[in-house]
Structure 1
Amino acid sequence: MSGELSPIDKAKFVAAKKATEYVESGMRVGMGTGSTAAWLVRCLGEMVRDDGLRIKGVPTSTRTAELARNVGIEVISLDEAKWLDVTIDGADEFDGDLNLIKGGGGALLQEKIVATASDRMVVIADAGKEVDALGAFPLPIEVIPFGWQTTQALVEETLVSMDVLGRNSSLRMNGDAPFVTDEGNHILDLHLNRIGNPRQLALVLNQMPGVVENGLFIDICDSVVVGHGDGRVEVRDINAGTVEQDRLEFVETDNLFADLDD
């Protein structure tokens, strides 16, 4: 590895490392998608290799599945697992009630299915992902390609009656072509600025024809592990109402940090 990790990457790493404490041998573990979740997969892979951890991982995207296999984690499908002990994933935003915006990586549908099929969902994030109100990060919604422009127009029209500050939306692109999810769908990013009533918005969006799922995760997250660049971590449990502080020693190892492309 060349050079030191940035403070943001260090924060993501310590959050992921702390979250491995939720994982025990014999568990079926949902593994999220994105840069922070990739740290978690690497940490678990190191535990499989060095500590004899035995788990079955259910990834939320093809790229997470590929990374998990590369680090030695046994990968199975959700249908094979049927139910999960824990899902650990990142988030684009979280608020004080541990409601989330997810989907920046384009895997929100699989992420929500896996998270809701788990006894516990743990979010790992750097401190910059915490917000007073959701919505500064564009809210992704997955839509079917057929008639997506009509769906977009209906969504924008519906937003007029919602408690949001913005109503514009954009089709997510991958170069010159629309971004395509693992399920073959498109993603519309809603630029809302602030969401006053996330629960209401989530329900309304999912009632619209053409919308497959939205990136609001309401009452799904049980705990959040917040990492800081100096090694501090804070664990908040919404069910127990507890907040715990810890500090992890940051040691860069060739095994864990060999591939930082994610």
Structure 2
Amino acid sequence: MAFRILILATPRCPSVPLFARQTEASYFPSFVHSSTQIRPMATENALPRETPALSTIEAAKRCAAFKAVEDHFDPSYRYIGIGSGSTVVYVVEAIAAQGRAITNNMIFVPTGDQSKQIIIEAGLPLGSIDSLPPVHENPPAISEASSKLLAVGEQDLALKGKRQSLDVAFDGADEIDEELNCIKGGGACLFQEKLVATSAKKFVCVADYRKLQPRLLTAWKAIPIEIAPMSAPVIKRMLITLGSPDPRIRQGGSAKAGPVVTDNGMWIIDAPFPALKLTKDLAEGDKGDGSKGTWEVHALGRRLKRIVGVLDVGLFHGRNGIQVANSGEEGGGQKPVAAYFGMADGGVESGIEVLSQEISDEFGSYRIRAGQRVHYVTIAAKVFDDDTMCRPHLLVSQLPDFPNTEWTRMEVSRRPDGSLTSELSYDPLPAVKTIWHPKTIDVLSLLKVKRHRSGVNEVLFSGLPATCKIACFAWQIPSIEHETYTYSVVEEYREPGDPVIAPVFLGHVTENGRVIGMLLEKLDGDFASMDDLPACRETLENFHLMNMIHGDVNRYNFIIDRSKKPVHVRLVDFEHAEPYEESKALEELHSLSAELAETTGRGGSVVLIGGV
């Protein structure tokens, strides 16, 4: 299944399918098997007039490159990063095809000598990452001392302001996993590649299908690490200690005797590790820090970077440029916002991602991301077998084509002859109407850290952990509406100096422009026990003074911060909150001791807090 228009069947581009994988902003998948982007078809005039005969795989790579440029290159851009590798050659070809009237107004920044030559040979204006100018919101006057610094070439110490970002950077990768973590450095340019990627507002990856793997170190067996030559023996021993069985200094082969020397005068160590885990893969109690023989991508990347003598590591992980911008920080991210894969199997790959699903005996309901829009699909029972209905990686390849329009719902069924049919709706979806906080946050802009339950995730917001709670489906909107209203009451009644009895409400969470949830302060602490009865009673009484009752005072809805003296208690989960009634308030207070003594785990699944 996929967009048929993604085939890119034009007279000047072979009919080779394109698989575009997208993470312009992070998401909250209940079931994550891919993260792909559906793209509109390239137009004929975006392609050059002459296309040399290419092998199937090269034609696929070329189509992927042209599609990436079509989607992410804008004539108004000023600074463009250009990476290395065979696929990037086609990226430069696609950019050059825009014409000199456009490209002569741009500066193209290479990641190394290879990409520098590609830029020069294409006749594009050449720049360098270290020559990007500072950007001044209010340019300061140059003092006498600053003038002296300018005279000796230390102008960066004198000029204050934000560094100019690249508008976009295009590069390849040696391997990419389903969350768009990358391994790069096969061409020994990893430091410059990371420097360019993190200097760009968005980094776009272009590769062929062979580079896409479920987990890193599946086909590409080693992580390139750029090191100072004199530190090689120490670093090799450290890598072995961390679990790399046979780290080796990369040799120049027949072209050059001795180690490969990078553009920075460094060496490359290729360090093999077992296939890297994603956070969702880790077993209970496994932190992915190597202590149990497993490494999680981010944990290993951070650990390798801390080794003295390491210039940089060929793991590109963490946040992408859009996520960094949404957090209010300067610079870009290591991960691509999108990855384009030229496919060579003659078929059309899926371009969707199942974010959430609920299945009953009558039908399956699916929340599906297609690019930067989210759609809702209902599939009648028996349209597919039970296995397919429950497993997104089996389902997505069998779904009908997704039109490239702003439809909201699709109902999938079968005709009497057994063929698949679908009906689209463009009707607006229900949304939370109680909007009282000035801040709104797009759900796809948040980086997921940990899933607590369907619709409740720990995320990063402005670089700090937070809890996101959303309605995955329409029938959950009333519950979110109710809880959003309760938080507005808590905020309305709270006076300066009053104890804080609930998480801070950080903003409304939106999807396709409609409000579907809330972003809350993440609370760290313990669940309540009988020892906390007096403090919990006081907090509950304070809530009653706001003319509300909680409605579910199980021990997991009281979070105890024991670092404070006296202990600080906060209430969470207001799904069952009601307007104040004295009889219900007294009943709630009387039940508190029994609820705190409860040890069966009732209510534990609805907790909003927790560590990574």
Q: Which amino acid aligns with 2:197?
A: A
Q: Which amino acid aligns with 1:66?
A: Q
State the identity as a percent. 31
1:14-62 superposed Cα distances (whole Å, 9 cap, x missing partner): 111111121122421111111111221222223235x744421111011
Following TM superposition, by how much is the alpha carbon of 1:169 offset from its aligned partner in structure 2, in angstroms? 1.2
Match runs of 1:37-116 below 5 Å:
37-49=88-100, 52-53=102-103, 54-81=105-132, 82-116=164-198
Given candidates 337, 348, 364, the residue that maps to 1:222 is 337
Given candidates 55, 74, 83, the residue that maps to 1:24 is 74
In 2, the alpha carbon distance for the partners of 1:7 and 1:199 equals 35
Structure 1 residues 80 and 61 mapped into 2: Cα distance closer, same or farther (>3 Å)?
same
More deviation, 29-38/223-232: 223-232
In 2, the alpha carbon distance for the partners of 1:187 and 1:147 equals 11
In 2, the alpha carbon distance for the partners of 1:236 and 1:103 equals 29
In 2, the alpha carbon distance for the partners of 1:180 and 1:128 equals 27
Residue 209 of structure 1 corresponds to 308
Q: Which amino acid aligns with 2:304?
A: L
Residue 205 of structure 2 corresponds to 123
Q: Which runs of 5+ in 2 are unaligned?
A: 1-49, 133-163, 278-295, 320-334, 354-367, 373-400, 403-612
Following TM superposition, by how much is the alpha carbon of 1:88 offset from its aligned partner in structure 2, in angstroms? 0.8
1:54-111 superposed Cα distances (whole Å, 9 cap, x missing partner): 4211110111111101111111112333311111111111111111111111111001
Contact 2:111 2:189 in 1 (8 A): yes
Q: Which amino acid aligns with 2:68?
A: A
More deviation, 147-156/125-134: 147-156
Q: Which amino acid aligns with 1:242?
A: A
Contact 2:239 2:271 in 1 (8 A): no
Q: The residue matched to 2:99 in structure 1 has which SS? A: helix
In 2, the alpha carbon distance for the partners of 1:56 and 1:120 equals 16
In 1, the alpha carbon distance for the partners of 2:196 and 2:168 equals 9
Residue 242 of structure 1 corresponds to 370
Following TM superposition, by how much is the alpha carbon of 1:241 offset from its aligned partner in structure 2, in angstroms? 4.7
- Answer with 1 or 2: which has the greater Rg: 2
Structure 1 residues 178 and 202 mapped into 2: Cα distance closer, same or farther (>3 Å)?
same
In 1, the alpha carbon distance for the partners of 2:301 and 2:241 equals 15
Q: Which amino acid aligns with 1:111?
A: E
Q: Which amino acid aligns with 2:297?
A: P
State the TM-score, normalized to the length of structure 1: 0.82
Q: Which amino acid aligns with 1:184?
A: G
Contact 1:224 1:236 in 2 (8 A): no
Following TM superposition, by how much is the alpha carbon of 1:151 offset from its aligned partner in structure 2, in angstroms? 1.3
Residue 384 of structure 2 corresponds to none
Residue 259 of structure 1 corresponds to none
2:239 paired with 1:190: no
Q: The residue matched to 1:13 in structure 2 has which SS? A: helix
Q: Which amino acid aligns with 1:102?
A: K
How many correspondences in the alignment? 236
Over the aligned positions, Cα root-mean-square deviation in angstroms equals 2.6
1:158-187 superposed Cα distances (whole Å, 9 cap, x missing partner): 22xxxxxx5221111112211011101000
2:223 paired with 1:145: no
Q: Which amino acid aligns with 1:84?
A: L
1:144-164 superposed Cα distances (whole Å, 9 cap, x missing partner): 1113122111122122xxxxx
More deviation, 168-177/102-111: 168-177
2:249 paired with 1:167: no
Q: Which runs of 5+ in 1 are unaligned?
A: 160-165, 247-262
In 1, the alpha carbon distance for the partners of 2:272 and 2:313 equals 13
Following TM superposition, by how much is the alpha carbon of 1:134 offset from its aligned partner in structure 2, in angstroms? 0.4
Q: Which amino acid aligns with 1:170?
A: R
Contact 1:127 1:228 in 2 (8 A): yes
Structure 1 residues 32 and 209 mapped into 2: Cα distance closer, same or farther (>3 Å)?
same
State the TM-score, normalized to the length of structure 2: 0.36
In 1, the alpha carbon distance for the partners of 2:185 and 2:352 equals 22
Q: Which amino acid aligns with 1:211?
A: V
Structure 1 residues 80 and 8 mapped into 2: Cα distance closer, same or farther (>3 Å)?
same
Given candidates 84, 90, 96, the residue that maps to 1:33 is 84
Following TM superposition, by how much is the alpha carbon of 1:128 offset from its aligned partner in structure 2, in angstroms? 1.3
